[in-house]
C-alpha cells in the first residue's frame, strides 16, 4: 500500500519544540539500593553538602544527592536548549542496506548543538545555576575539546568567565577546538600547565606528559578551590551531569513511538558516562521497574582505556593528583595515563558511579573496542549516512554495526538505537591518520594498569 510505504520510508523523526522535556529523570529514585556514598579523602567518612560548597553551586549539590524521580528544568535553561533541541532521531536506512541487515538501526544525533555534541545539555544547566548563585568565573577541564566548547558557549550565554584546562595531546591535535572556545570568550591552556601546583607537579615528573582528563581535573579543581570568584564544573561522571543528559533518552522514546518501533538494544559510548546515561537511563528505568526486562543496554569504551570491562570496582579519586572526594567506581587507578588515542573524551581512568552501579548489578553490559575497528565503522557510517562522527561516538557505531550483523546472522530482527553523541569536524587529523594507514591500535596496557591500581586507596565498601 502506497501510504504504508511512504510511512515506512521515513528517515528522520523530528519533535516539535513543545515536546522539549520539562523534567530531568533521576535514576537514583529507581535504584534498588542507594548508590554508595561519596567519601571525604581525609576522614574516609561520607561527605556533606558543605564539603562540596567550595566547588559547586548549592542547587547542583542538592541535585547530586536528590532521590526525587523528576526534577523540573528551569525555563531559562529550556529557552537556551530550544536553540537546537529536540534533536533529530534518524533511521540509518542506508547503513542498514549496506550491511544487508534485517535490523532497524536508529541514531539520536546530538551533533546538532552549536558546540557539536551532547555536552551543552549540562553545560547550559550548570552555567545557569552558577549565575543564579552569583558565581562570576568557572574553571573546567576538557579532553577532546567538546566539553570545553560546550561550557565556553554556556558561559558566553550567561555572562560568566571561563578557564579551560585542555589535555595537552588534544590541545596539540585540535587547535580549532581551542579557537572555538576562545571565540566564545574562554581562556584555554594546555594541561599539565604551569598555572597550578598540580600541573607543575606533573610537569616536574614528566615534562613531556601528554596529559589526561585526570590531570586536567586536578588543575581545574585546584583553580576553583583557591579562588573565591570561581567554581568548578565537570562535564561528566557526576550524578547531576548524567541527569541533565536524560533529555536525550526521553526525546528518543517519543521519537521511536512516532516510528512505531521499540528498542531491543540501546548503545552509547562511555568516557565518563554522561552521553551513555543520557540515552540509556530512561530505558534503564524500564528494566529497573520491570516494564521491559529483555532490553539490552550496552556501554562501549576503548580497549586502551577499559575502565568498566577491566577496571576494579573500588573507591578511588576522580582526578590524578588526589584532590577530589573518593567515589566508588570502576577504575584503572587514578594515576593511569591512557595512550593518546584520538577519542580524547574517552581517556578517563574511571566511570560515573551510577553507570558502574548498574553495570555491577548487570542492568547494563559493557564492551571495549580497539581504535582501528572504531574508525573503520566511522568511515562506513560517513559513507552511507553522510555524517562524519566524533571518534568517541564511533565506538557506539562499531557495536551498533556488530549487533546489526549479528541480527542478520541469527535471523532475529532487532531494533538498535545508539547515541551519535557528536560530529567529528574537528577530528579530521584522526581521520587523515586512519585513511593514510598511520593509525595504530594500542595494546591493553596491563602493566601500567596494574601499577596504577596499586595506588588505589584501600577502602572497604
> Residues in the site for ligand PLP, rule: CB under 6 A?
117, 143-144, 146-147, 236, 269-276, 345-346, 390, 392-393, 421-422
Instruction: Compare residues 249 and 271 and give the one whose CB is closer to ligand PLP.
Output: 271
d(CA 107, CA 221): 35
Q: How many helices (H) and strands (E) does the chain have?
A: 20, 15
* Residue for grid cell 539520536: 108
Q: 400 near 96, Cβ under 8 Å?
A: no
Instruction: Compare residues 348 and 414 and give the one whose CB is closer to ligand PLP.
Output: 348
Q: Give min distance, CB of 70 to ligand PLP, in A.
A: 22
Q: 128 near 74, Cβ under 8 Å?
A: yes
Q: Give min distance, CB of 419 to ligand PLP, in A.
A: 8
**Kind of pairing, strands 312-317 and 104-109?**
unpaired
Instruction: Compare residues 123 and 449 and give the one whose CB is closer to ligand PLP.
Output: 123
Of 257, 443, 284, 256, nearest to 368 by C-alpha is 443
Q: Give min distance, CB of 144 to ligand PLP, in A.
A: 5
Instruction: Compare residues 239 and 274 and give the one whose CB is closer to ligand PLP.
Output: 274
Instruction: Compare residues 77 and 151 and give the one whose CB is closer to ligand PLP.
Output: 151
Q: Give min distance, CB of 169 to ligand PLP, in A.
A: 13
How many CB atoms sit inside 10 A of residue 204's CB?
9
Distances (CA, A) of 413 to 10, 201, 203: 19, 54, 53
Instruction: Compare residues 144 and 216 and give the one whose CB is closer to ligand PLP.
Output: 144
d(CA 400, CA 394): 10
Distance between alpha carbon 438 and the CA centroid of its chain, in Å? Answer: 27
Q: Own/partner pairs for 319-322, CB < 8 Å, 24+ apart?
A: 319/198, 319/214, 319/215, 319/217, 319/218, 319/221, 320/198, 320/202, 320/212, 320/214, 320/215, 320/217, 320/218, 320/349, 321/198, 321/201, 321/202, 321/215, 321/218, 321/222, 322/41, 322/218
> For residue 439, what is its C-alpha cell?
593509525
Of all residues in the shown chain, the one whose CB is closest to ligand PLP is 345
Q: Give min distance, CB of 270 to ligand PLP, in A.
A: 5
Q: Give min distance, CB of 389 to ligand PLP, in A.
A: 8
Q: Give min distance, CB of 17 to ligand PLP, in A.
A: 24
Instruction: Compare residues 147 and 157 and give the one whose CB is closer to ligand PLP.
Output: 147
Amino acid at each position: 500500500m502506497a501510504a504504508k510505504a511512504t510511512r515506512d520510508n521515513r528517515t528522520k523523526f523530528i519533535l516539535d519544540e513543545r515536546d522539549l522535556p520539562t523534567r530531568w529523570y533521576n535514576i537514583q529514585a529507581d535504584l534498588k539500593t542507594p548508590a554508595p556514598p561519596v567519601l571525604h579523602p581525609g576522614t574516609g567518612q561520607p561527605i556533606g553538602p558543605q564539603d562540596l560548597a567550595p566547588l559547586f553551586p548549592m542547587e547542583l549539590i542538592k541535585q547530586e544527592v536528590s532521590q526525587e524521580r523528576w526534577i523540573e528544568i528551569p525555563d531559562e535553561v529550556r529557552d537556551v536548549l530550544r536553540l537546537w533541541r529536540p534533536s533529530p532521531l534518524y533511521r540509518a536506512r542506508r547503513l542498514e542496506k549496506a550491511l544487508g541487515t534485517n535490523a532497524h538501526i536508529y541514531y539520536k544525533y546530538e551533533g546538532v548543538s552549536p558546540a557539536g555534541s551532547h555536552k551543552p545539555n549540562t553545560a547550559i544547566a550548570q552555567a545557569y545555576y552558577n549565575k543564579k548563585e552569583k558565581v562570576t568565573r568557572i574553571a573546567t577541564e576538557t579532553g577532546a575539546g567538546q566539553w570545553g566548547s560546550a561550557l565556553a558557549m554556556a558561559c558566553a550565554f550567561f555572562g560568566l568567565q571561563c578557564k579551560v584546562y585542555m589535555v595537552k595531546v588534544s590541545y596539540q591535535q585540535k587547535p580549532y577546538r581551542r579557537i572555538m572556545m576562545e571565540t566564545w570568550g574562554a581562556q584555554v591552556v594546555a594541561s599539565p600547565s604551569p598555572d597550578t601546583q598540580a600541573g607543575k607537579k606533573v610537569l616536574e615528573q614528566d615534562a613531556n606528559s601528554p596529559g589526561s582528563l585526570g590531570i586536567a581535573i586536578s588543575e581545574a579543581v585546584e583553580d576553583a578551590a583557591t579562588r573565591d570568584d570561581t567554581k568548578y564544573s565537570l562535564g561528566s561522571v557526576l550524578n547531576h551531569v548524567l541527569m541533565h543528559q536524560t533529555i536525550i533518552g526521553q526525546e528518543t522514546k517519543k521519537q521511536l513511538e512516532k516510528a512505531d518501533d521499540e528498542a531491543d538494544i540501546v548503545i552509547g559510548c562511555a568516557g565518563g558516562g554522561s552521553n551513555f546515561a543520557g540515552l540509556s537511563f530512561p530505558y534503564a528505568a524500564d528494566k529497573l521497574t520491570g516494564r521491559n526486562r529483555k532490553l539490552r543496554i550496552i556501554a562501549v569504551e576503548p580497549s586502551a582505556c577499559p575502565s568498566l570491562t577491566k577496571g576494579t570496582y573500588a573507591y578511588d579519586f576522580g582526578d590524578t593528583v588526589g584532590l577530589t572526594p573518593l567515589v566508588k567506581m570502576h577504575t584503572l587507578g587514578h594515576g593511569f595515563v591512557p595512550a593518546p588515542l584520538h577519542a580524547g573524551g574517552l581517556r578517563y581512568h574511571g566511570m560515573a558511579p551510577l553507570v558502574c552501579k548498574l553495570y555491577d548489578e548487570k542492568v547494563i553490559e559493557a564492551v571495549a573496542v580497539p581504535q582501528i575497528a572504531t574508525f573503520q565503522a566511522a568511515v562506513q557510517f560517513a559513507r552511507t549516512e553522510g555524517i562524519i562522527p566524533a571518534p568517541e561516538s564511533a565506538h557506539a557505531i562499531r557495536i551498533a554495526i556488530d549487533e546489526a550483523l549479528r541480527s542478520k546472522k541469527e535471523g532475529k530482527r532487532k531494533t538498535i538505537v545508539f547515541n551519535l553523541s557528536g560530529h567529528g569536524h574537528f577530528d579530521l587529523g584522526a581521520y587523515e591518520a586512519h585513511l593514510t594507514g598511520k593509525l595504530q591500535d594500542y595494546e591493553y596496557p596491563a602493566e601500567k594498569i596494574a601499577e596504577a591500581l596499586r595506588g588505589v586507596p584501600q577502602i572497604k565498601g
